Amino acid sequence: DSGVTQTPKHLITATGQRVTLRCSPRSGDLSVYWYQQSLDQGLQFLIQYYNGEERAKGNILERFSAQQFPDLHSELNLSSLELGDSALYFCASSVASGIGELFFGEGSRLTVL
Amino acid sequence: QKEVEQDPGPLSVPEGAIVSLNCTYSNSAFQYFMWYRQYSRKGPELLMYTYSSGNKEDGRFTAQVDKSSKYISLFIRDSQPSDSATYLCAIDHTNAGKSTFGDGTTLTVKP
């Protein structure tokens, strides 16, 4: 158990809908990262927050947004969903910002029908 | 060109074999090199972490970094069926704000 909690574990929804994925980092970790893992594209970095502030951004679509709250949990919002958004979405946390060991949650599997 | 390229696999070996997993990278600014293991339906977990050229051993696992060639490897000795997983290389540099991952190599160790 990495100490990172993600909910929901599984989500099935329709095209055009909006979903929110939630992540609670390990106790004491200030950085939260979101990654997308699909079969044909590996583990793709989406966005990183450190203590509530956005620190780094990857190839995150404009339809996607995220935030980190004062209690350090984070949410990833995916809107106007398309079939191609079906993937595993991982949250990871770390003590420092941007480098060092990442502790991953078990992921949220999103299926868009 | 991807910043990190990983030998795609899949790889299937008999129990007890030596396994070699490899990645190359393009950005010489990368300073920190990691290997993660991901079991099916689970999140990746860190196996090895190093920041210098050379070898680092941890039990049956050896991480090798050659910064001059921008090449990293993970060797698994005496492979076991429990080593069957996807192995991901990951590389950081201080100003990147993130780890850049290879696409992973899926390893199956057959009893």
Tally of CA atoms within 13 A in the half-sphere of A1 that contains its CB: 6
Set of chain B residues whose Cβ sits within 8 Å of the Cβ of A1: none
Residues of B in contact with A104 (CB under 8 A): 43-45
Peptide bond before residue B10 is cis, with ω within 30 degrees of 0:
yes
For residue A110, CA distances in Å to A10, A14, A68, B17 come to: 6, 10, 21, 37
Arithmetic mean of pLDDT, B44-72: 92
User: Across all residues in chain A, what is the average pLDDT?
Assistant: 93
Q: In this structure, what DSSP letter does residue B28 have?
A: T
For residue range A65-106, what is the model confidence (pLDDT) as tens digits?
A: 999 999 999 999 999 999 999 999 999 999 877 667 889 999
The amino acid at residue A40 is: D
Q: What is the pLDDT of residue A73?
A: 97
What pLDDT digit, counting tens, does each position of A52-64 carry?
Answer: 999 989 989 999 9
Q: Give, in degrees to the nearest 5, the angle at Cα B27 between B11 and A105.
A: 55
Q: Is pLDDT of B46 > 80?
A: yes
Region B74-92: mean pLDDT is 95
Residue A40: closest CA among chain B residues belongs to which residue? B103
Whole-angstrom CA distances from B97 to A45, A96, B2, B45, B53 are 10, 10, 17, 19, 22
What pLDDT score was predicted for residue B27? 84
Kindly tell me if the per-residue pLDDT of A50 is higher than 70.
yes
Interchain proximity A45–B102, CB inside 8 Å: no
Phi-psi region at A55: left, alpha or beta (left = phi > 0; alpha = psi -120 to 50): alpha
> For all residues of chain B together, what is the average pLDDT?
91
A-contacting residues of B 17-36, CB under 8 Å? 32, 34, 36
Contact: A42, B46; criterion CB under 8 Å: no
Q: Does the pLDDT of residue B94 top 70, yes or no?
A: no
Q: Are B104 and B37 in contact (CB under 8 A)?
A: no
Query: Is A25 at the interface with chain B, CB within 8 A?
Result: no
Q: Kindly give, in sequence order, each residue whose CB lies less than 8 Å from that of residue B57, ignoring residues fewer than 6 positions away.
A: none
Question: How many CA atoms are closer than 13 Å to the CA of B1, on its beta-carbon side?
Answer: 6
How far, in Å, are A17, A33, A106, B89 from residue B104 at the CA level?
31, 19, 17, 7
- Reply yes or no on whether the pLDDT at A29 is more than 90: yes
Tell me how far apart the alpha carbons of residues B3 and B70 are, in angstroms, rounded to a whole number: 11
Is the pLDDT assigned to residue B96 strictly greater than 90?
A: no
- Contact of B46 with chain A, judged by CB distance below 8 Å, is answered with yes
Q: Do A43 and B101 touch (CB under 8 A)?
A: yes
Place B66 in a pLDDT band, splitting at 50, 70 and 90: very high
Q: Choose, out of B30, B32, B51, B99, the residue to mutate when testing the contact with A (most A CBs < 10 Å).
A: B99
